[in-house]
Structure 1
């Protein structure tokens, strides 16, 4: 997962969250993303880092 670029729908499926929530995470800079042309992509490592951070915050 570390080297891939994920689409928003892929992140939605992996986190089981809605589109608005994923874009809100991106807007608030809690989830790193890049723009390629007009497409928004989330690096796999950014998703892993987000999950790790959320687990640490919950503990």
Structure 2
């Protein structure tokens, strides 16, 4: 069992970009608009994996409601 708060629980911007196949400015917009939660560690911004999966679920729910 991995310890909570390890680097495996956090994603970088480029990792999110790769997973969603979107550009940096799109990820920045999601973070700025607080659609995707993040934390700041020093000068680095990281996205908790649970926030990423919550974002995906919310988007799927929005799509299925239409």
**What TM-score range do you get, normalising by the shorter chain?**
over 0.9
| Structure with higher RCO (Cα < 8 A, 6+ apart) | 1
By how many angstroms is 1:8 displaced?
Answer: 0.2
Query: Which stretches in structure 1 are left out of the alignment for 5+ residues?
Result: none
Q: Pairwise CA RMSD of aligned residues?
A: 1.4
By how many angstroms is 1:43 displaced?
Answer: 0.2
**When the two structures are aligned, how many residues end up with a matched partner?**
58
Which residue number in structure 2 is paired with residue 13 of structure 1? 18
| Distance of 1:26 and 1:5 partners within structure 2 | 14
Which residue number in structure 2 is paired with residue 40 of structure 1? 45
Tell me the TM-score normalised to structure 2 length: 0.84
Q: Alignment partner for residue 29 of structure 2, among 24, 27, 31?
A: 24
Runs of 4+, deviation exceeding 3 Å: none
By how many angstroms is 1:51 displaced?
Answer: 0.2
